[in-house]
Amino acid sequence: GAGVSQSPSNKVTEKGKDVELRCDPISGHTALYWYRQSLGQGLEFLIYFQGNSAPDKSGLPSDRFSAERTGGSVSTLTIQRTQQEDSAVYLCASSTRTASTDTQYFGPGTRLTVL
Amino acid sequence: AQRVTQPEKLLSVFKGAPVELKCNYSYSGSPELFWYVQYSRQRLQLLLRHISRESIKGFTADLNKGETSFHLKKPFAQEEDSAMYYCALGKAAGNKLTFGGGTRVLVKP
């Protein structure tokens, strides 16, 4: 079946602009995660959603970052007033649940470049 | 705080030689550990997890709680094993993953 998809695959923006990154999880997966992969920080957790529960936002680096998940499916990660340090590959993953036995399936990522 | 350390950024071995990727972790609870792999131009994917105690593509990893390690081993490396490998620690609640810095493996013919 179809895996996790993300769009756009690449995004170049100017400092100060807002960007939206989209993630389509695997159908039926109730858990959705956002991670960021950057040169300086490696792979780091940002936020996760599980069903209708309140999201765990503990990894968001600042209040310029927000995410929502509509209808328990598609998720959008929004970065407001982008800064150069936001340049990274943003990865989305989904799993059937959030138990440690559940495999997280990753999307191809969105490469964000802030000029 | 939980932390995952992969001391080697690059491992270069010849085909047929053994390869071992080191991973050390710090975590106060009961750890759930994983190895993820990213082949060139492919997405990150799970290679194996400690709870399964399985061998995938000839790779094995043993959790050593005394040494807080989860090293990945393969006795005979193949060229197709060339990739980026990440060790990851999952929290029991929510399974948020904490990744190590990654080790690039290059298997030379």
pLDDT digits (tens, 9 = 90+) for B41-52: 999 999 998 877
The verdict on a CB contact (< 8 Å) between A104 and B97 is yes
Residue A53's pLDDT is what? Answer: 85
- Of all residues in chain B, what percent carry a pLDDT higher than 70? 97
The verdict on a CB contact (< 8 Å) between B96 and A59 is yes
**Average pLDDT, whole number, for chain B?**
91
Q: Name the H helices within B21-92.
A: none
User: B interface mutation test: which of A35, A43, A111 has the most B CBs within 10 A?
Assistant: A43
Of the pLDDT bands very low, low, confident and very high (cuts 50, 70, 90), residue B72 is very high
List CB contacts (< 8 A) between B91 and chain A: 100
Residue partners of A1: CB distance under 8 A and separation at least 6: A26, A27
User: What tokens were used for B94?
Assistant: 């929510």
Residue A1's pLDDT is what? Answer: 59
Is the pLDDT at B54 greater than 90? The verdict is no
Residue B8's pLDDT is what? Answer: 95
> Any idea how long chain B is?
109
Regarding beta strands B10-14 and B103-108, do their DSSP bridges make them parallel or antiparallel, or are they unpaired? parallel
Regarding beta strands A10-13 and A110-114, do their DSSP bridges make them parallel or antiparallel, or are they unpaired? parallel
The verdict on a CB contact (< 8 Å) between B95 and A95 is yes
B95 touches A: beta carbon within 8 Å: yes
Residue A101's pLDDT is what? Answer: 67
The verdict on a CB contact (< 8 Å) between A43 and B43 is no
Angle at B37 between CA B32 and CA B38, to 5 degrees: 140
A43 touches B: beta carbon within 8 Å: yes
A96 touches B: beta carbon within 8 Å: no
CA dihedral sign of residues A42, B34, B46, B93? negative
A111 touches B: beta carbon within 8 Å: no
B51 touches A: beta carbon within 8 Å: yes
B95/chain A closest Cα distance in angstroms:
5
Q: Could you tell me how far CA B61 lies from the centroid of its own chain?
A: 8
Q: Are A63 and A79 in contact (CB under 8 A)?
A: no
Helix, strand, coil percentages (3-state) for chain B, rounded to 5, are 5, 50, 45
- Measured distance CA(B68)–CA(B74) in Å, rounded: 20
Rounded mean pLDDT of B57-73? 92
Quick: pLDDT tens for A11-57: 999 999 999 999 999 998 989 999 999 987 789 999 999 888 889 99
**Average pLDDT, whole number, for chain A?**
92
Q: Minimal CA–CA distance to B72: which of B11, B3, B2, B1?
A: B11
Quick: pLDDT tens for A71-94: 879 999 999 999 999 999 999 999
